[in-house]
Chain A
Amino acid sequence: MIRESDAPRIAAEVRARVVEQRVRAARHGGRPLEEVLNETLFHERRRLARAPDAEEARGFYHGIASTLPRASDAELQRMLSSVVARYVHEIEGHFDPSIYKIATRVLPVGMAGLLNGFSPRTLAKRGTLPSFDNQIQVEGDVDALRRLTERGTVLYVPTHSSNLDSIILGSGLHQLGLEPATYGAGLNLFENRMVGYFMQNLGAYTVDRLKTDPVYRDTLKEYSTVILEYGRHQLFFPGGTRCRSGALETYLKKGLLGTALSAYTNQLKSGRDRRLYIVPVTVNYPVVLEASTLIDDYLQHSGRSRYIIVDDEFSKLERWASYGRGLLRLNMRIHLRFGAALDPFGNDVTAHGESLDPSGRTIDPSGYLKLAGEVRSDASRDAEYTRMLARRIVASYKDNNVVCATHVVAFALFHALYSREKPKDLYRFLRALGPAVTLRIEDFLPTLRQLLIEVRTLAAAGQIHGADVVATGTAEAVLEQAMRMFGTYHTRPVVVRTGDRLAVDDANLLFYYRNRLEYYGFLGQKTLLKERHEHAERSTL
């Protein structure tokens, strides 16, 4: 666990490393520092042009711009150092270790209170906070996880479908009595006033996705690496942003993911063999708070351009309250499932943290970094190792997907209508779905039954998991539960029943929830999503 006194040392370490890397590169024929700083100026000024209240920052960069043309080598290095110091300060700015300790214990419960529909003021007045634990079901090998957090440093890499994910994971760790994990949260979350207060003190460090300067990215990566080296468990979403389509992530960002390997290498080089474990996690919601915004964004093909969504359900208190009330009234559960831990090379590890080869033999993972017996750095080698790790994480998501009644009903209904209409164009099909397109429940149930058989067969092999009624209930019971869940939170109830028929009320949401079962080939359905995939070298994807 990190000590309070570590914070300034971490900041100094990060700054030293980023500057040193750039200086070394410049000396060996890489980019000259002047060019590096010019690029920083370009990116930061472009960003600041659209940022209000940034006089101080503008002044800072104006100072650099005017000194740059005549700067000596020593001055260039000093300027770079000041830029990096500024970035480090922003990244760790909100972090206060003394609050962190208390906050990580109290806040998950406080957030739960919000979800329960209490206002922050009510919460503050109450002596005891309401528990939300019943709504979060923790699954997976928690005993092994507990041992791993003691043996080494754990990097949690969850699927990402909601801004609630980090809070759910925080609550889950709290419930298990495990050490909290710090994480990089988008600056937009801090700017959201209601959530901001909680986020600020939750041990989160800041990630500003609007900062495009490569030096900023270096700093962020190095910060993540250094805090792992200091033994602080960390959490980040390797898919990047919340998945717009509702599907499981099939492609991961390697930059941050690679920090696990960097941290492990640095530790070995300094003579410490504290292990690093990567724990894939799935956060599974029967109903997703921001589903409408996310799927609309996906369908508008603007997922990239609207990289950051600030005006979604997450920022609206009444949506939170409605969501929380719905969860409680129907006793809906959010399934937080911890997958088996991996080492930084994607190998399985034992409950005691030893790396295993595919035949189950214990191996020493430090060997992967050695050449002629010595630990060596090799960027392209490590990039490939990280790709291998990414493949294992993606495969783990698929195996640890906990499917709810809403997912199976959406998949089966979508499939039944899709194969009946045989549309040439997905988007036209979605637009055409409405009250006029109906299906007799009697005709729908066989499809749902077939899907349940397929899901349960796969579940028996441990390659997917059925939540509650999906694991054991009849098709009728699954449909019943899905209808209630669909009807409780979304403005439009996704699917409606009129007499003995089902009709789609929100086609986009139906598509969103069915997408969680994409990539399994259920009901012989071909893939409809065109997402990027990790090459499946070691998995059965």
Chain B
Amino acid sequence: MSHEAMETRAEPTRATQAHVAVLGAGNWGTTLAHLIASTGHTVRLWARDAAVVRSINDERVNRRYLDGFSLHAGITATADLASCVQGAELIVMVLPSSAFRSVCQTIAPMLEPWQAVFHATKGVESGSYRRMSQILLEETCIRQYAVISGPNIAREIMEQKPSGTVVASPFPRLTAAAHLLLTSDTFRVYENADVVGVEMGGTLKNVIAIASGISTELGLGENTRSLLVTRGLQEMIRIGRAFGADSSTFSGLAGIGDLMVTCASVHSRNFRLGRGLAQGRNAQEVAESLGMVAEGVYASKVAFDFARDKGIYAPVMGAVYAIVHQARPALEAIDGLMRMQARPDVDFG
């Protein structure tokens, strides 16, 4: 054991000598690419959109998704997946959950068994209830994987405000590599072995963020928001446990940590989605005006369907589902919640 540890320490302070591939140049993908380049790694960043590629390579900014920040020179953007993925020892996937499987299928022929994948996608596949890491294993030859999740508002990290994230993996080498890839004076990496819990925390908090946005917009006050978020956390834990998560993970950065930021920040897409819904606009319309994917739209359906299939008590998730997918008026849905019989405060044990 310690012999191995000594070997690891003797390595240079870089996670890999080869380049690191980052797939997805949205605001979080771009931010991760910037963090990784800042720790001395060569990064190839894949963007679907040629205009984004040009803006990054020519002007060192991502005008579309992360305007106003100068990006590290170690990043090269490309629209060519193959040249991005091939030869990379580490690949970081930062894609919308709805595109995750199809991108896995596209890159599968380019991947090799010695490569490792980190993903930072917050979502669960609708219908199959597959988590992103499961999809990765199902579709590709990759076996070594890790998940990155936590309270990470991209803009604040770019502004170098102190932040932290969680990396979970069954492979200790990868959690160690994550420190070398990401840790800086203003960005900390915490480890967790519970991949399921970290993936579920990141997914389900988006549904509660919508509820929080709704309550804020309706002017219901801080008590209401706290009630919704706390009861929502209990639902996250119950659903997460049914997926195989460890409940203690929800008290960490990928649970309560992410929930706090996403339920209060004006930067949170799902929070903003909730506000839009409370104004009586429909989900499609609000999501389009955000210009970015609000994962909570998908997550609310997955959470609702799953809770129904498994008989899990999750009224807040149900209310959000009804507002987002069945156009139920927000106030009516919240009223409905208040009329339900009160259950024990803490009952996930």
**Chain B residues with CB below 8 A from A366, complex form:** 113
Taking the complex as formed, is B170 at the interface, i.e. its CB lies under 8 A from any CB of chain A? yes
**Chain B residues with CB below 8 A from A28, complex form:** 1-3, 6
In the complex, how many angstroms separate the beta carbon of A44 from the nearest chain B beta carbon?
A: 26
In the complex, how many angstroms separate the beta carbon of A269 from the nearest chain B beta carbon?
A: 15
A371 touches B141 (CB 8 A): no
**Chain A residues with CB below 8 A from B141, complex form:** 347, 357-358, 361, 363
A29 touches B173 (CB 8 A): no
Nearest CB in chain A to that of B116: its residue? A371
Binding stretch for chain A, among B43-51, B104-112, B228-236, B312-320: B104-112
**Chain B residues with CB below 8 A from A373, complex form:** 114
State which of A30, A358, A387, A535 has its C-beta within 8 Å of the C-beta of B140: A358
Nearest CB in chain B to that of A539: its residue? B138
Bound complex: CA of A387 vs CA of B112, how far in Å? 20
Bound complex: CA of A25 vs CA of B17, how far in Å? 30
B113 touches A365 (CB 8 A): yes
A538 touches B108 (CB 8 A): no
Task: Write out, one digit per residue, whether chain A residues 364-391 have a CB within 8 A of any chain B CB (1) or not (0).
Answer: 1111101111000111110011011000
Bound complex: CA of A365 vs CA of B112, how far in Å? 9
Taking the complex as formed, is B155 at the interface, i.e. its CB lies under 8 A from any CB of chain A? no
B137 touches A367 (CB 8 A): no
B17 touches A30 (CB 8 A): no
**Chain A residues with CB below 8 A from B1, complex form:** 25, 28, 30, 379
A363 touches B113 (CB 8 A): yes
In the complex, how many angstroms separate the beta carbon of B96 from the nearest chain A beta carbon?
A: 22
Bound complex: CA of A370 vs CA of B139, how far in Å? 21
In the complex, how many angstroms separate the beta carbon of B36 from the nearest chain A beta carbon?
A: 18
In the complex, how many angstroms separate the beta carbon of A538 from the nearest chain B beta carbon?
A: 5
**Chain B residues with CB below 8 A from A62, complex form:** none
State which of A359, A380, A538 has its C-beta within 8 Å of the C-beta of B171: A380
**Chain B residues with CB below 8 A from A372, complex form:** 16-17, 89
Interface residues of A in 406-449 (CB under 8 A from B): none
Interface residues of A in 304-320 (CB under 8 A from B): none
**Chain A residues with CB below 8 A from B105, complex form:** 359
State which of A24, A365, A367, A388 has its C-beta within 8 Å of the C-beta of B3: A24
A358 touches B108 (CB 8 A): yes
Interface residues of A in 343-371 (CB under 8 A from B): 345, 347, 357-359, 361, 363-368, 370-371
Interface residues of A in 431-488 (CB under 8 A from B): none
Bound complex: CA of A363 vs CA of B140, how far in Å? 11
Bound complex: CA of A436 vs CA of B138, how far in Å? 51
Taking the complex as formed, is A143 at the interface, i.e. its CB lies under 8 A from any CB of chain B? no
Taking the complex as formed, is B325 at the interface, i.e. its CB lies under 8 A from any CB of chain A? no
Bound complex: CA of A417 vs CA of B6, how far in Å? 63
B113 touches A367 (CB 8 A): yes
B3 touches A357 (CB 8 A): no
Task: Write out, one digit per residue, whether chain B residues 3-14 have a CB within 8 A of any chain A CB (1) or not (0).
Answer: 110100000000
**Chain B residues with CB below 8 A from A384, complex form:** 143, 170-171
With A361-B109, A384-B170 known as contacts, the answer to whether A538 contacts B139 (CB < 8 A) is no
State which of B2, B4, B114, B170 has its C-beta within 8 Å of the C-beta of A367: B114
Interface residues of B in 186-241 (CB under 8 A from A): none
A538 touches B172 (CB 8 A): no
Please tell me the size bucket of the interface on B: 20 to 34
Taking the complex as formed, is A537 at the interface, i.e. its CB lies under 8 A from any CB of chain B? yes
Bound complex: CA of A288 vs CA of B137, how far in Å? 37
A30 touches B2 (CB 8 A): yes
Taking the complex as formed, is B134 at the interface, i.e. its CB lies under 8 A from any CB of chain A? yes
Taking the complex as formed, is B280 at the interface, i.e. its CB lies under 8 A from any CB of chain A? no
Interface residues of B in 1-48 (CB under 8 A from A): 1-4, 6, 16-17
Taking the complex as formed, is B336 at the interface, i.e. its CB lies under 8 A from any CB of chain A? no
B112 touches A367 (CB 8 A): yes
Nearest CB in chain B to that of A377: its residue? B4
State which of B3, B108, B111, B144 has its C-beta within 8 Å of the C-beta of A381: B144
With A29-B2, A358-B138 known as contacts, the answer to whether A378 contacts B173 (CB < 8 A) is yes
Bound complex: CA of A113 vs CA of B138, how far in Å? 47
Bound complex: CA of A35 vs CA of B139, how far in Å? 47
**Chain A residues with CB below 8 A from B162, complex form:** none
Bound complex: CA of A63 vs CA of B88, how far in Å? 57
Nearest CB in chain A to that of B170: its residue? A384
A359 touches B108 (CB 8 A): yes
With A28-B3, A380-B172 known as contacts, the answer to whether A363 contacts B112 (CB < 8 A) is yes
**Chain A residues with CB below 8 A from B144, complex form:** 368, 381
Nearest CB in chain A to that of B128: its residue? A540
A361 touches B108 (CB 8 A): yes
In the complex, how many angstroms separate the beta carbon of B13 from the nearest chain A beta carbon?
A: 15
In the complex, how many angstroms separate the beta carbon of A463 from the nearest chain B beta carbon?
A: 17
Bound complex: CA of A216 vs CA of B137, how far in Å? 36
In the complex, how many angstroms separate the beta carbon of B45 from the nearest chain A beta carbon?
A: 23
**Chain A residues with CB below 8 A from B3, complex form:** 24, 28
In the complex, how many angstroms separate the beta carbon of A273 from the nearest chain B beta carbon?
A: 14
**Chain A residues with CB below 8 A from B108, complex form:** 357-359, 361
A537 touches B134 (CB 8 A): yes
State which of B89, B114, B139 has its C-beta within 8 Å of the C-beta of A368: B114
Nearest CB in chain A to that of B141: its residue? A357
**Chain A residues with CB below 8 A from B171, complex form:** 380-381, 384
In the complex, how many angstroms separate the beta carbon of B24 from the nearest chain A beta carbon?
A: 21
**Chain B residues with CB below 8 A from A359, complex form:** 105, 108-109, 139-140
Bound complex: CA of A95 vs CA of B116, how far in Å? 43
Nearest CB in chain B to that of A536: its residue? B134
**Chain B residues with CB below 8 A from A347, complex form:** 141
Bound complex: CA of A164 vs CA of B227, how far in Å? 62
Interface residues of B in 169-185 (CB under 8 A from A): 170-173
Bound complex: CA of A497 vs CA of B314, how far in Å? 49
Q: Which 5 A-B pairs have the closest CB atoms?
A: A367-B113, A357-B141, A367-B114, A28-B2, A384-B170
Known: A358-B140, A381-B173; 16 extra A-B contacts, CB below 8 A, are A28-B2, A28-B3, A357-B108, A361-B109, A361-B141, A365-B113, A367-B114, A368-B143, A370-B114, A371-B173, A372-B17, A377-B4, A379-B4, A384-B143, A384-B171, A387-B170
Give B residues with C-beta under 8 Å from A: 1-4, 6, 16-17, 89, 105, 108-109, 111-114, 133-134, 137-141, 143-144, 170-173, 244
Q: List 26 A-B contacts (CB under 8 A).
A: A28-B1, A30-B1, A345-B143, A347-B141, A357-B141, A358-B108, A358-B140, A359-B108, A359-B140, A361-B109, A363-B112, A363-B113, A363-B141, A367-B112, A368-B113, A368-B143, A368-B144, A372-B17, A372-B89, A377-B4, A379-B1, A381-B144, A381-B171, A381-B172, A384-B143, A538-B138
